[in-house]
A and B are shown apart, each in its own frame.
Chain A
Amino acid sequence: MKTDVPAILLAEDNPNDVELTIEALDRHNLANRVAVAHDGVEAMEYLRREGAFSEREPGDPAVVLLDIKMPRKDGLEVLREIRGDSALKRLPVVILTSSREEQDLITSYDLGVNAYVVKPVDFLSFIEAVAHLGVFWALINERPPNGVK
């Protein structure tokens, strides 16, 4: 299926993490297929094509890489809204966070997250983890069918 919509939506407030994440994806030629939202509100606007993203091309990304700790609206709230939105509920969501707090894990899985990845501190490990994620979700994983709307 050929589409211009970026394959990955990265919701991440920290520009350093954004940079490192894109750097990692770039090593597998996935950098040009990443859209970035800088907090939860932006992420939802992007997905719903609202606000600044009202003009973007229609279509869902293959996966949302979601940080938990973000200003305005955190990742868990975004996940809850996605799962509560009939148009978005099947969208693959991967939590990509610094925290391995048990409570976060429980909440995420309870809300129906597709994967939960703790960002390794060590850069090489980080690159490897992110690259695996990008390749798997953007290229290998089969998306849920369109047109449910």
Chain B
Amino acid sequence: MLAVLIGAAGFWAWRQQAQSMRRQAERSLAAVGELKADQITTWLHERHGDAEMLRGDPLLSAAVADMLAGRDGRSATTRVQTYLDDFQRNYDYVDVVLTSPKGAVLLRAPNTVSHPVGREAKALAARATTTRRVASSDLYLDAEGKACLALAAPVLSDAGGGGIAAVILHVDPSRYLYPLIRGWPLPSESGETLLVERRGDQVLYLNELRHRKNTAFKLTTPVNTPDRPAAMAVRGRHGVVQGVDYRGVPVLSAIQRVPGTAWFIVAKEDTSEVLGPIRTRGWLTAGLALLLVVLAGVGTLFLWRARESQTSAEIRESAERYRALVEQAPMAIFVNREDRVVLANEACLRLFGASAPDQLLGKSPFDLFHPDCHAGMRERIHRLRDEGEEVPQIEEKIVRLDGSTVAVEVAAAPFRDQGVDAIHLVLNDITERKRAEEELRASERKFRETIEALDEGYYSVTLDGRLLDHNPAYNRILGRDPDADLRGRRTPDFWWDQAGRAAYVQQLNRDGFIRDYLARAKTGDGSPVAVLVSAHLVRDERGEVARIDGSVVDFTARKAAEDEIVRLNAELEQRVLDRTAQLDAANKDLEAFTYSVSHDLRAPLRHISGFSSLLAERAGDSLDEKSRHYVDTISRSVREMGVLIDDLLQFSRTGRTELQIIEVDMDEVLREALEPLRQETGEREIEWSIGPLPRVVGDHALLRQVWANLLDNAVKYTRGRAPARIEVGARDVDGEVVFSVRDDGVGFDMQFAHKLFGVFQRLHSASEFEGAGIGLANVQRIINRLGGRVWAEGEVDHGATFYFSLPRRKETPS
């Protein structure tokens, strides 16, 4: 395109230039023609002037007349001769000849030359003398073959009539005329001027040619030669013509007639010279245009290539950026092109539960969304892809690969993907948001329910005193219809006295809160009621005070309630004191009792034992078998009584001793409790299974006693099992630690389980298993004191499991 433009412009410029140059060349040529014609005319005029001067010179005519008349003898001839000589010298003619009207030579100057007077000259002389006017010849070749021009001036007598003689002036054209014609006013290689005239049907070249010698009066061309400028000249053409000259060379010619003659001036130059510069200029222009075209082409190519490479780099970069952005985006993104998934990012794979892109790529987007959404999707896709409209974000449900549905927010936008209209979708999992919204709603509901149920009046009010929210208790306390909606009402109207309100406002503004401010409110019927107001300023996210939230209680009712609480507390305290005193007294009694038992109950036993032994000793061998049996029975009973008393006293003590509550390592306690059992267990085959036990908070000594009792029982009631299995363990159950001791011993009947922990309750006879039946009672008492429980499971002959629980140790920051 650009090349065509440049070419056209170049051509046009060249054309303009060529025409301009051609016109200029033509003008130059025409000017040369005119100049030559003028010069020739002027020269001819001068020659005529010379002749006219001779014709009109009375001196000459008188002298000639004298000479012809023979008057004055020789002197007349001499005068004429002198005249002619002077004239010939001064005017530079080849020769000047005085002839008779018939053309016979009379005198000549210079008289040294005998120049023949030709036919033409004679004719001229006759014409001049006849017409009494100057006559001139055409150019002709004289007898010697030289180009010649002749003029004849009549010599007139005073008497009138024909001339008495004629003066013939011979002009050698080669001396002046031809050089004049040949001369070219401008530097030119081929510029040449021709002087031609018609001779019959031929054109005669009168002057010497530039390019060919010896042509004057010799070269002719037929008048009808079409493109020969000389021929055209004689045919009447005028001005500048194109043609082919005598050499056969194309020339540009200016044709000019020489006025008063039959001559034509043809000023010509070779077309090649005239148009050479134009062609050169043309080639130059063409070359320049071509260069320009090439340059423009190269430039354009370069620019295009540069832009191309820049553009493609930008496109690549942009594509990279897009890919990275999409891949790393935390939101799920996929591209729908022609209803196929063609791109899905990591987040998208996660969202759909896909482990590889292949699981999504190529699928129809409709497979990814819940059928409920399909109609809406079709409409949106139509709007996006076909109408080019924007679509708003929308909540939809997707179907994950495992079939579960997830609520998402979908943003879609159209774009061109590899030349195809595609849709770019961004999915946001809004499960969490919906859950949060639901939680918020639930929380609000709960808040509403709570404040509805409150006995305290709740209110929320704008800074300018408009009620935003309140609960039924608020209405009740302010003596209004409990169901009335007071929102929008002015709370200052609810105050009995504005002074009280002013103080409330002031304190609220100063401290940001107010507590139990005693005020009088105005009830619905206009009566005052004493209320306690608590309120605080609530600020928004920017920290600006947004509203006031507060509560109001009926002062009178609260006062009454508080008084009641004080009274009840006092009463309770008195009761506690009374009970404590009673308890203290009972404790003291119990202590005195056990002390007494400890000392006084044992002494008689000891005495019985002592004296019965002494009796047996003293009786010695005289005591018969039966008596000895009696004494032994007494001793054994006394020992049993002693154990019983000891156990009872210990049981009493476990209820009275002060608890030493510390953190207790149960593993260690268990080891300590096992130690005294080593003797018996060492002799027996017992498989112990003791799990790790947690640390608890309790009384170390008492817990040791618990373990000792339980383990002792387990060992005792598995007697006869070989091997015996005893398992000790612990586990966490509902905030408690439950310890257990399981054995595979004789067990017990569950219907008597409630008796297990009673004092002196036994499920086996003393002869079967020794013991006072105080051990489990002790265990229960200790565990109860430590805040736990005891229980047991068992089956006759299939073992028993004893459990006790303790509150879980509170984590103490240490």
What residues make up the interface of A, taking CB atoms closer than 8 Å to B?
A: 14, 16-17, 20, 23, 68-69, 97-102, 119-124, 126
Q: Are A99 and B606 in contact (CB under 8 A)?
A: no
Q: How far is the CA of A23 from the CA of B605 in the complex (A)?
A: 17
Q: Are A98 and B599 in contact (CB under 8 A)?
A: yes
Q: Are B609 and A98 in contact (CB under 8 A)?
A: no
Q: Smallest distance from the beta carbon of A26 to chain B beta carbons, Å?
A: 11
Q: Are A69 and B614 in contact (CB under 8 A)?
A: no
Which residue of B is nearest A119, CB measured? B606
Which residue of B is nearest A120, CB measured? B606
Using A121-B638, A122-B635, A122-B642 as known contacts, say yes or no to A98 and B598 having CB atoms under 8 A apart. Answer: yes
Q: Are B614 and A23 in contact (CB under 8 A)?
A: yes
Q: How far is the CA of A98 from the CA of B607 in the complex (A)?
A: 11
Q: Name the contact of A16 in the complex, choosing from B607, B638, B639, B641 (C-beta under 8 A).
A: B607
Using A17-B603, A23-B614 as known contacts, say yes or no to A121 and B609 having CB atoms under 8 A apart. Answer: yes
0/1 interface trace, chain B 573-610, chain A, CB 8 Å (1 if under): 00000000000000000000011001110110111011
Q: Are A126 and B657 in contact (CB under 8 A)?
A: no
Is residue B653 within 8 Å, beta carbon to beta carbon, of the partner chain?
Answer: yes
Q: How far is the CA of A23 from the CA of B615 in the complex (A)?
A: 12
Q: Could you pull out 20 A-B pairs where Cβ atoms are within 8 angstroms?
A: A16-B607, A16-B611, A17-B606, A17-B607, A20-B607, A20-B610, A23-B610, A68-B599, A69-B600, A98-B606, A100-B598, A100-B646, A101-B594, A101-B598, A119-B602, A121-B609, A122-B635, A123-B612, A126-B606, A126-B610
Is residue B613 within 8 Å, beta carbon to beta carbon, of the partner chain?
Answer: yes
Q: Which residues of B contact A124 (CB under 8 A)?
A: 613
Q: Which residues of A contact B599 (CB under 8 A)?
A: 68-69, 97-99
Using A20-B610, A98-B606 as known contacts, say yes or no to A123 and B635 having CB atoms under 8 A apart. Answer: yes
Using A100-B598, A102-B657 as known contacts, say yes or no to A123 and B603 having CB atoms under 8 A apart. Answer: no
Task: Add 9 more A-B contacts to A23-B610, A124-B613 (CB < 8 A).
Answer: A16-B610, A97-B599, A98-B602, A98-B603, A99-B598, A99-B599, A101-B598, A121-B605, A121-B641
Q: Smallest distance from the beta carbon of B748 to chain A beta carbons, Å?
A: 31
Q: Which residues of B contact A122 (CB under 8 A)?
A: 609, 635, 638-639, 642
Q: Are A20 and B657 in contact (CB under 8 A)?
A: no
A-B pairs with lowest CB-CB distance, top 4: A121-B642, A123-B613, A123-B610, A98-B602
Q: Smallest distance from the beta carbon of A10 to chain B beta carbons, Å?
A: 15
Q: How far is the CA of A17 from the CA of B604 in the complex (A)?
A: 9
Q: How far is the CA of A126 from the CA of B607 in the complex (A)?
A: 10
Q: Which residues of B contact A98 (CB under 8 A)?
A: 598-600, 602-603, 606
Which residue of B is nearest A98, CB measured? B602
Q: Are B614 and A121 in contact (CB under 8 A)?
A: no
Q: Smallest distance from the beta carbon of B597 to chain A beta carbons, Å?
A: 9
Number of interface residues of B (CB under 8 A): 25
Q: Which residues of B contact A121 (CB under 8 A)?
A: 602, 605-606, 609, 638-639, 641-642
Q: Name the contact of B653 in the complex, choosing from A16, A23, A68, A102 (C-beta under 8 A).
A: A102
Number of A-B contacts (CB under 8 A): 66
Q: Which residues of B contact A101 (CB under 8 A)?
A: 594-595, 598, 649
Q: Which residues of B contact A97 (CB under 8 A)?
A: 599
A interface SS class: loop
Q: How far is the CA of A70 from the CA of B221 in the complex (A)?
A: 194
Q: How far is the CA of A14 from the CA of B603 in the complex (A)?
A: 9
Q: Smallest distance from the beta carbon of B754 to chain A beta carbons, Å?
A: 32
Q: Are B606 and A123 in contact (CB under 8 A)?
A: yes
Q: Which residues of A contact B646 (CB under 8 A)?
A: 100
Q: Name, among A16, A69, A98, A101, the residue most crowded by chain B CB atoms within 10 Å (CB to CB).
A: A98
Q: Smallest distance from the beta carbon of B782 to chain A beta carbons, Å?
A: 16
Q: Name, among B607, B611, B646, B653, the residue most crowded by chain A CB atoms within 10 Å (CB to CB).
A: B607
Q: Smallest distance from the beta carbon of B541 to chain A beta carbons, Å?
A: 67
Q: How far is the CA of A27 from the CA of B136 in the complex (A)?
A: 216
Q: Which residues of A contact B594 (CB under 8 A)?
A: 101
Q: Name, among A98, A102, A119, A121, the residue most crowded by chain B CB atoms within 10 Å (CB to CB).
A: A121
Q: Which residues of A contact B657 (CB under 8 A)?
A: 102
Which residue of A is nearest B601, CB measured? A98
Q: How far is the CA of A16 from the CA of B600 in the complex (A)?
A: 13
Q: How far is the CA of A120 from the CA of B610 in the complex (A)?
A: 10
Q: Which residues of A contact B611 (CB under 8 A)?
A: 16, 20
Which residue of A is nearest B596, CB measured? A69
Q: Name, among B603, B610, B649, the residue most crowded by chain A CB atoms within 10 Å (CB to CB).
A: B610
Q: Name, among B602, B639, B641, the residue most crowded by chain A CB atoms within 10 Å (CB to CB).
A: B602
Q: Which residues of A contact B639 (CB under 8 A)?
A: 121-122
Q: Which residues of B contact A126 (CB under 8 A)?
A: 606, 609-610
Q: How far is the CA of A122 from the CA of B649 in the complex (A)?
A: 18
Q: Are A123 and B598 in contact (CB under 8 A)?
A: no
Q: How far is the CA of A99 from the CA of B599 in the complex (A)?
A: 5
Q: Which residues of A contact B653 (CB under 8 A)?
A: 102
Q: Are A99 and B595 in contact (CB under 8 A)?
A: yes
Q: Which residues of B contact A120 (CB under 8 A)?
A: 606
Which residue of B is nearest A101, CB measured? B598
Which residue of B is nearest A17, CB measured? B603
Q: Smallest distance from the beta carbon of A6 to chain B beta carbons, Å?
A: 22
Q: How far is the CA of A123 from the CA of B610 in the complex (A)?
A: 5
Q: Which residues of B contact A68 (CB under 8 A)?
A: 599
Q: Are A20 and B595 in contact (CB under 8 A)?
A: no
Q: Smallest distance from the beta carbon of A40 to chain B beta carbons, Å?
A: 15
Q: Which residues of B contact A23 (CB under 8 A)?
A: 610, 614
Q: Name, among A99, A102, A126, the residue most crowded by chain B CB atoms within 10 Å (CB to CB).
A: A99
Q: Which residues of B contact A14 (CB under 8 A)?
A: 603, 607
Q: How far is the CA of A100 from the CA of B594 in the complex (A)?
A: 11
The B746-777 residues at the A interface (CB cut-off 8 A) are none
Q: Which residues of A contact B602 (CB under 8 A)?
A: 98-99, 119, 121
Q: How far is the CA of A119 from the CA of B639 in the complex (A)?
A: 13
Which residue of B is nearest A97, CB measured? B599
Q: How far is the CA of A130 from the CA of B594 in the complex (A)?
A: 25
Q: How far is the CA of A69 from the CA of B595 in the complex (A)?
A: 10
Q: Which residues of B contact A123 (CB under 8 A)?
A: 606, 609-610, 612-614, 635
Q: Smallest distance from the beta carbon of B588 to chain A beta carbons, Å?
A: 13
Q: How far is the CA of A126 from the CA of B609 in the complex (A)?
A: 10
Q: How far is the CA of A23 from the CA of B614 in the complex (A)?
A: 9
Q: Smallest distance from the beta carbon of A92 to chain B beta carbons, Å?
A: 23
Q: Smallest distance from the beta carbon of A72 to chain B beta carbons, Å?
A: 16
Q: Smallest distance from the beta carbon of B498 to chain A beta carbons, Å?
A: 72
Q: Smallest distance from the beta carbon of A124 to chain B beta carbons, Å?
A: 7
Which residue of A is nearest B613, CB measured? A123
Q: Which residues of A contact B609 (CB under 8 A)?
A: 121-123, 126
Q: Smallest distance from the beta carbon of A139 to chain B beta carbons, Å?
A: 24
Q: How far is the CA of A102 from the CA of B649 in the complex (A)?
A: 11
Q: How far is the CA of A97 from the CA of B595 in the complex (A)?
A: 12
Which residue of B is nearest A67, CB measured? B599
Which residue of B is nearest A14, CB measured? B603
Q: Which residues of B contact A99 (CB under 8 A)?
A: 595, 598-599, 602
Q: Which residues of A contact B603 (CB under 8 A)?
A: 14, 16-17, 98
